[in-house]
Every structure is written in C-alpha cells, then in structure tokens.
Structure 1
Amino acid sequence: MALAELSDAVADVEVTSAIKLKGAAAADVPAGHQRFYIEGRLLSLLGGKKGLPGQVAWLADVPLDASNRAPKLKKARLLIFVDTVADRPGEVRLARPYGQFWWSQELDARSRGVLRELVSADRPPHIVRVGNAFHVPGSLPGESETQIFLTTDDGRPVSLNVLRRPGEAPRWAVALGEMVDDSAAPPPPDSLLWYRLACTLPAALPDTSTADLPSDQATAARADYRVVIEGLKPCARNFTAP
C-alpha cells in the first residue's frame, strides 16, 4: 500500500464537523466532487513517521453520488493517510487526493500490517526494474525452471522463480536472497512484498530480459513470467473513498 509509505501518519478518525466550501475556496474542485473542510477526533494512530494531536482538520474533495449529492460525513468514521503541515498544529493534508476512506476492520487490519512491515528491519526493497531471465529445460518432457532477477533500490537480490514438473501446475515463488530454497513461496496477498511486486512489475516480461536467450527459451521465460503476473491479483484499490 503505497499510501501508507508516502504518508506522515495514518489515522482512524471520527468526523466532528464537515463544512461545504464554495466560491473561491472550491474553484478548482474536480467535476463530480464537493470540497469540504473537515474536522475530526483521533480515535487511533495506526502508524507513520509522525504523531498527530487529538483533534485534526483537513480539506477533502469528496465524490458525489449518482444523485449528485455528497455523502453524510458528520459522525462518519474514516481512515485517513495524511501529511502534517509545518507550524500548523492540528492541520493535516491528505497524502494524495484519495487519501481518505470509509473505515472498515479489513482496511484497518491491512493498513496496520503494511505499516508494521515498513518499520521492520527486513522489509522488502522497492523493485526498480526487471533484469535478466534464465530458463533451464529439465531432463523430462515438460520439466523446466525459470529464474528472473529483479533490480532493487538498495541492491538486495530478489528473484522470481517458476518450476514446472510433468503433470503438475506450474509453481512460482519469490526469493529474497542469493539462494533459492524449498521455503521460497509467493508473497501473502496484501503484504508489503505483494504490493512491491503487484504494483511495480510490468504486465509482460521486457524484451531486454531475454535478449541473450535462444528464441525457444525466451518464449518459455515469457510464459513463466505470465504465471507470476496471473498469480498476483491486480494492484487496484478495492475500497470506496468518501
């Protein structure tokens, strides 16, 4: 969840006041939205780089419904991803225009999990690009192994590995380290490593990754890369932003 990493703070808040803004204060609001000045009571600070006071205020451009009406915000429980404002205690700014969501247990738990991973010593690195791919046919028909190396922001080795055995579905895993062992597996859905991969990897294996491979091995490597992409559910927001 990129928002969790980009934000100064992630908070669970109850809206105490929501005032519609008009005129010059809402001159650049996107079509189908209404700008609000929102005040909220801090219920819980999930995490982030900075703390927040008990009362916070922010601006939000809220989507209108099919009837062109804004949702009821007062007393609503929201999860907000915000940056603090220098020299303005209690004032925050949404980290992105969509940094405000209806609170839910599922979203709360998912966000807390990512925030915990972000501060762990062994958090996975950012994926910069897809590097070289290698494909090794096995001794039996239908047996093979593909390894695809990923370039990371801190130089740590990360690789995707796809194993095929006759009569079995392809198995893929991600390895964080030089060696690939039997414990390597796909990342858990919605984990930080899952986000690093699902939200960064291109849909198809780049031609540069297979430039040094014979054509049949390049074709096999591209097919195995698709196994990985299909194994990662799409990187998309599946919750509603008020």
Structure 2
Amino acid sequence: MIHPTKRFVRMPGTMMVAVILLNLSTPTLSAEVSPGATYADLADMSDSARLVLRAQVRKMAPVEPARARGVRAGWTRYYIEARTEALIRGDAPLGQSLRYLVDMPPDERGKAPKLKKRSVLLFATSAKGPAGDLQLVAPDAQVLWDADAEARTRAILAALVAPDAPRKVTGVREAIYVPGNLAGEGETQFFLDTADHSAASITVRHQAGAPTTWGVSFSEVAAPADSAPARDTLTWYRLACFLPNSLPRGVNLSEDASSRGQAEADYRMVLGELGPCQRNRAAS
C-alpha cells in the first residue's frame, strides 16, 4: 500500500539546477506504482536500458509545473535523490548517490505517492556527473522493488544477452500455406521481419487426425512445429507484443483463395495461443 504524503518541502535552488540539467523527453508512457509491472513492462524497459539498478529513495520533491514539460494530465514529475543498493546491469561503476526525474500518478486517494525509504528498480540509459544524474529510459521507468520483480528482471536481462536470444520482431514479411498430399494435411510458414534483418519464422503444421501444432525459429532452420513458446518468456514477448493483429496486405502468397484463407486462419490461431500482451504501462 502506498501512503499519501502530507506535504512536500519546496526544492532548494541546487536541486532546481539539477532538474534543469537533466533532459527528459516528452513522456508517452504511464508511470506505474501499482499494480505491479507485467512481464512485458519489465521486458520493454530492460530491452532499452544500459543500466538497471536497485536504489532506495532518500528525498523526493515535485517539480514545479512550469519546469515539467510534457507531463500527462493528472500526473506529476518528481525530483528524487536515492542511494544505490545494487547494480543489476551496467558496464561501469556507479556511485552511492543518485538523482533522477520520474513521472508518477497520484495514489488511490489522489495524493502524492510516498516513496521515501522504499526501494525501487530503475531502468536508465546513462548516469552522468559525480552526483549520478540518471537518465531513465522513459519518464516512468521506475518499479517498486520486491524480490519477485528483481528476479523476473534478472531473468529477462539474462535472456536478452544469451547467444540464442530471439531478435526484435518488426512485422510479417511473407505468409504461405502449402497443402499436403492427404486431405487435412498442410503447412503454413510465416517469415518474419526483424530489427537486425536476421532470420525468423513461424511454422504451423496440419496432420490428418491430429491437433494442429506450431513453433517458431529465430534461425535459418525451419521451426519444429512443436516449439510454441511458453508465456512470459522472451520468445513469447517478441511475438505476442509485436506481431501485427492481422496479416498485412500483400504478404499472403498462398496460391489460391482456399490456401490464403487457411494461412489467415493459422495466423489467427497463433495469435490466439500466444494470448494478449498485457501491459500496465503503455509500450515504448
């Protein structure tokens, strides 16, 4: 439970200077203090972060509205001083003292959230200066810490740097259904676009008298049709959160209307088995 604060002390001039020096882009994301971050929330932030750390909030003060450009209606930008507790991801030492800006909504009572002495996970692109001025990956890239959130974040970070990590999916390039020799048999392949132009594909297989199966491959080798990813894994995230809701116009290269219809049906089936990409904050 987040308790409301009774009041805030006006920031001294030195703090105000720090706020001016930090450069936050206009926020397009919603800050999330409660409910907790979903797998997709953590993956969104982890994928963009060069620094991930746990810190304890020591001081917190609202930024004057005139100096907080782009804050969404009803929200407040806060200047926070914190103490580093653990560096989870990063290739450079980080000092004990940290400063950053974060956008947050009011609590359930309409008051400012009280975070002093609470631990948070922070996702940042950089830390500059001797005082540790953090640049968060998004105006709301802060999550209340608990052991589960840290464990999930560590697992995501490990998956992101694994040699066989699935690449970012950006769309569907081609779809084709080829019927088999027997009635009820056939195979659909979806060739995916990726951010680094590496290979990725989904294979859906139909066998007479057997359930339809599917799988995904992030290599030149065709996917085994029994390798559908488990929910809340990085492979699931790459598909469920970034595949388009329907096949784009012109990508279905199946030979006839019946085959094109089967490819469309198979794509809907894959999306249905992946399930929704739930976020408690908007996608970056």
For residue 220 of structure 1, what is the aligned residue in structure 2?
A: 262
Q: List per-residue Cα deviations over 1:154-194 (Å, max 9, x = no partner).
A: 33221101112344432111012233364851223232222
2:111 corresponds in structure 1 to 69
2:156 to 114, 118, 123: 114
Q: AA paired with 1:154? A: D
> Could you say which residue in structure 1 is the equivalent of 2:95?
53
Change (3 A) 1:53 1:25: same
Alignment of 1:179 with 2:221, yes or no, is yes
Question: Number of aligned pairs?
Answer: 240
Quote the residue 2:277 is aligned against. Answer: 235
| 8 Å CA contact 1:15, 1:78 repeated in 2 | yes
* Partner deviation per Cα, 1:49-80 (whole Å, 9 max, x = no partner): 55432221111121113432112111122111
C-alpha contact (below 8 Å) 2:201/2:223 kept by paired residues: no
Following superposition, the deviation at residue 41 of structure 1 comes to 1.9
Q: What's the counterpart of residue 173 of structure 2?
A: 131
AA paired with 1:188? A
**Mean Cα displacement is larger for which, 133-142 or 222-231?**
133-142
The worse-fitting range, judged by mean Cα deviation, of 10-19 and 184-193 is 184-193
Match of 1:93 among 119, 135, 155: 135
Encode CA deviations 1:66-101: one digit per residue, 9 max, x unaligned: 432112111122111112244454110221022111
> Which structure 1 segments of 5+ residues have no match?
none
Instruction: Go from structure 1 to structure 2 and tell me whether the alpha carbon gap of 1:36 and 1:48 turns closer, same or farther (over 3 Å shift).
Output: same
Change (3 A) 1:23 1:2: closer
Deviation by residue 1:209-237 (Cα, 9 ceiling, x = unmatched): 21453111111001101111112232232
Which structure: greater strand fraction? 1
**Unaligned 5+ runs, structure 2:** 1-42
State how far apart, in whole Å, the 1-side matches of 2:69 and 2:180 are: 64
**Secondary structure of 2:98 counterpart:** strand
Percent identical pairs in the alignment equals 35
- Distance across 2 between alignment mates of 1:153 and 1:28: 29
Alignment CA distance shift 1:209-1:27 (3 Å): closer
Question: 2 CA distance for matches of 1:193 and 1:76?
Answer: 33
**TM-score, scaled relative to structure 2:** 0.75
Retained in 2: the 8 A contact 1:101–1:239? no
Alignment match, 1:163 = 205
Q: By how many angstroms is 1:149 displaced?
A: 0.9
TM-score (norm 1): 0.87
- 3-state DSSP of counterpart to 1:189: coil
CA distance in structure 2 between the partners assigned to 1:35 and 1:209 by the alignment: 44
> Residue 234 and residue 52 in structure 1: after superposition, are their counterparts in 2 closer, same or farther (change >3 A)?
farther
Quote the Cα distance in structure 1 between the aligned partners of 2:281 and 2:147: 12
* Aligned residue runs from structure 1 range 10-25, under 5 A: 10-25=52-67
